[in-house]
Copies of this chain bind each other. A is one copy, B any other.
């Protein structure tokens, strides 16, 4: 078996040590004689996994004790519906900072069922920038933003500094660096970038969010009921939750978010360093808001971009094609993307630019 360098935007590379633990657990989970996928979600063995996943996420992200944590299905896209459904009353309105595709989709979902304003939108420059600051609409119930934009490669340096409850889609940078969860009303993230396989969504709810959630909604969409049932109203994605628990264990064993963030910063610096070294490469995002997770860039032409993707693929560097809404190239360098992978990519870029520059 030889594993390639995987720069996929998601589902994304996971730590090999986690994969090996999953392999071992599949036929026989911890000596129970029952396989990982074959455990009842009501069993003591799965309950321990589920509790450990929550405890680890609480420790890793320093989630305040009075916040609730759920592992749901449906991805961030279902949260785009559940958040306004639970948090906005009929006559209320939410603000959206539209920094890319996902914030735009979230805004569209809120508009479908409630009132919502896009108070900032960088469509005109194809989402290459972020606002330095934003001013919420008067009376906005909450403000929704996306901390990292997977497609366009921009990332906010920190939680937005506003005086309304903050809802944050952290799908593509959760657990990549320390973040102040206590400044947020809701944090949510699909697992398939930094937390595990696809099919699990982490949802973190503040006391304010729980107080607003009216209850009495369709159970699968109801934060009150899901919290009452600890996310076990029906059968959750048990395999995915165990995988997430193992990824969080790996984060803790790696030294937690300070150590992870330092490594992510080093990886990003190496890659942006090569992009800035020669005019052969052009980064998509403005320099001050470059993402440490998704690096969107291009060569001098679409032809060379295509040649780069094909040659890189043949050399074992996978998933480097840019998203169609940006074009060019993209390297996703999430937590589990090793320094060795980034090194291999930088070396390949140097060779490619020398040959084609």
Contact = CB atoms under 8 A, between A and B. Distances in A.
Interface of A: 1-4, 6, 8-14, 16, 19-20, 22-23, 26-28, 32-35, 37-41, 43, 73-78, 81, 109, 112-113, 190, 192, 196-200, 218-221, 233-240, 243, 316, 318-319
* Number of identical protomers: 2
A218 B109 contact: yes
B13 A112 contact: no
A2 B221 CA distance: 40
A32 B318 CA distance: 10
A37 B11 contact: yes
Given A11-B38, A11-B41, A37-B197, 12 more contacts: A3-B28, A3-B35, A6-B34, A8-B39, A11-B40, A11-B235, A19-B37, A37-B198, A76-B234, A199-B235, A199-B237, A237-B240
A6 B38 contact: yes
A37 B16 CA distance: 11
A74 B220 contact: yes
A27 B33 contact: no
Contacts of A219: 77, 109
B236 A198 contact: yes
Contacts of A35: 3, 6, 13-14, 19
Chain B CB count within 10 A is highest, among A16, A19, A112, for A19
Contacts of A34: 3-4, 6, 8, 318
8 contacts: A6-B33, A6-B38, A11-B40, A37-B196, A77-B234, A113-B218, A192-B235, A237-B240
A235 B33 contact: no
Given A218-B112, A219-B77, A235 B41 contact: no
Contacts of A75: 73, 220, 234-235
Given A3-B28, A35-B19, A74-B220, A40 B8 contact: yes
B19 A1 contact: no
A328 B27 CA distance: 29
Nearest to A25: B23
Nearest to A33: B4
A317 to B, nearest CB: 10
A19 B11 contact: no
